[in-house]
Structure 1
């Protein structure tokens, strides 16, 4: 436990909040900015004396539940909450798995209709794909659950590899496993990740072999080739943007410089728009991305 660090952090967070930030009424003029110690103690459900001793770097060690209550009372961000737990010397709790796109990420994703884009959480569950990504990979439907999980489909559904040149498959398998291993390291106590890993190991000998290597890395930049039945081989640069708070990944495929990938993607975009228009002529819809759980045929 870092008592001086914990005390300094608590004082700084308290000074940075106003009563209105935490739902308290604004009362008389305050001599110093921020909340009073007594107010933080009430919000956290601890005694004023106990909280005062924490800010003075003395007293008994706080429990995990008390640290969690302090994080809520002080309106800590996820990163600040992790920091608070480390300062208090208690295990950092795993973060919740993101199952919906936040508005900012959705806005960005929907404005990338000229590039194949897929958004998935750190368990590999696809949250969003755009029409061009679907057309490139031959994805006809986005289902909830394991059927839309990037890792599960790669290791248990042979058809998911059909458009990937055979020479690239082993490298992509290793990249998937090292990425999932990074999530496992952060969420080792989370039944969702342990269950996924156990099931993958039970269904795939290749996964078991790669998992035992203990390679850990979140893939952020890579090269990718997709063999499309209409436009042929498309060479792409894979860029993965990772949100630090939730671990959500936005995978964007960019045309590889010096190739005809840009022209092929544009052709796919036009062909996809034409097919969508024929299917939706009576409904009056415009092409758009698909969020997890939406069914399109």
Structure 2
């Protein structure tokens, strides 16, 4: 992508960010602001991407953006069809129509932010993390520290070394999570979002290669689990899962100690 095109992309993103107020997406007012609209870090949280990565986009840095990231930004910015297609073209992608990413309403994306300091996130059908708050970032290290694609909770559990430390009972937790992914994949046969993730997990994890043929199935649910937050000892958390009314495959998960 040429420098002029990157500059135009940054200008377009900033113009759309500045037209959205915190109230538009359910965020509380934090007093006087130096610039109109959402702050960069607020938009990044709504889109489920790194604030630094988003800042680079507005600054016209020479970085490549995936269709998943662009789709998340388009949803958070409330772009209409024409604006969405313009965003994709500026970023060097031919069309927004071919992406298989799942959108999240801006009002729903704001909910985890309102639940701070309780760790909370919204996951999609294939466990992509669509929105999260700072407490979730702190409880699950490196969950959202990805570039060019949406973070994914199953990928984190099976490929992130920190997951085996945070999840005290890693093996049963991981097996249950894989069983729930299996159930959801059955609802979306041959969907590329699932097939790519499952292939990636098989390549990366010997446990997945061992457990997947067993064909365990589960549904998403709440419960209790033992976690080891970074810098602390083992702590028991209760967690609750709520399905979004208009998108039943999308789930809000909230954690509370005790």
TM-score, structure 1 as length reference: 0.48
Structure 2 counterpart of 1:197:
198
Count of matched residue pairs? 159
Whether the 8 Å CA contact 1:184–1:193 is kept in 2: the answer is yes
Residues 140 and 197 of structure 1: is their aligned pair in 2 closer, same or farther, counting only changes over 3 Å?
A: closer
In structure 1, distance between residues paired with 2:120 and 2:133: 6
Residues 170 and 102 of structure 1: is their aligned pair in 2 closer, same or farther, counting only changes over 3 Å?
A: same
In structure 1, distance between residues paired with 2:137 and 2:109: 17
Q: CA deviation at 1:250?
A: 1.4
Out of 243, 249, 252, which is 1:250 matched to? 252
Structure 1 counterpart of 2:131:
128
Q: CA deviation at 1:147?
A: 7.0
Instruction: Give the greater-gyration-radius structure (CA).
Output: 1
Q: Say which SS state the counterpart of residue 230 (structure 1) adopts.
A: coil
Q: CA deviation at 1:97?
A: 5.8
Residues 219 and 97 of structure 1: is their aligned pair in 2 closer, same or farther, counting only changes over 3 Å?
A: farther
Q: CA deviation at 1:174?
A: 1.1
Q: Note if 1:137 corresponds to 2:129.
A: no
Q: Say which SS state the counterpart of residue 212 (structure 1) adopts.
A: helix
In structure 1, distance between residues paired with 2:238 and 2:192: 34
Whether the 8 Å CA contact 2:122–2:130 is kept in 1: the answer is yes
After the TM superposition, which parts of structure 1 deviate over 6 Å for at least 4 consecutive aligned residues?
Answer: none
Cα deviation 1:51-72 (Å, max 9, x = unaligned) = xxxxxxxxxxxxxxxxxxxxxx
In structure 2, distance between residues paired with 1:152 and 1:146: 12
Structure 1 counterpart of 2:233:
232
Residues 107 and 117 of structure 1: is their aligned pair in 2 closer, same or farther, counting only changes over 3 Å?
A: same
In structure 1, distance between residues paired with 2:148 and 2:212: 22
Cα deviation 1:168-210 (Å, max 9, x = unaligned) = 1111111111111112101112122122212212221211222
Q: Note if 1:154 corresponds to 2:119.
A: no
Q: Note if 1:113 corresponds to 2:116.
A: yes
Whether the 8 Å CA contact 1:98–1:246 is kept in 2: the answer is no
Cα deviation 1:207-253 (Å, max 9, x = unaligned) = 12221121222221121222134332221012122236351121110
Whether the 8 Å CA contact 1:175–1:219 is kept in 2: the answer is no
Structure 1 counterpart of 2:80:
none
In structure 2, distance between residues paired with 1:140 and 1:151: 10
Give the gaps of 5 or more residues in structure 1: 1-95, 257-297
Higher relative contact order, chain-length normalized (CA < 8 Å, sep 6+):
1
In structure 2, distance between residues paired with 1:150 and 1:144: 15
| 1:7-156 correspondence to structure 2 within 5 Å | 99-139=102-142, 141-144=144-147, 148-156=151-159
Whether the 8 Å CA contact 1:113–1:132 is kept in 2: the answer is yes
Give the gaps of 5 or more residues in structure 2: 1-98
In structure 1, distance between residues paired with 2:150 and 2:129: 9
Structure 1 counterpart of 2:166:
163
In structure 1, distance between residues paired with 2:206 and 2:237: 29
Whether the 8 Å CA contact 2:116–2:134 is kept in 1: the answer is yes
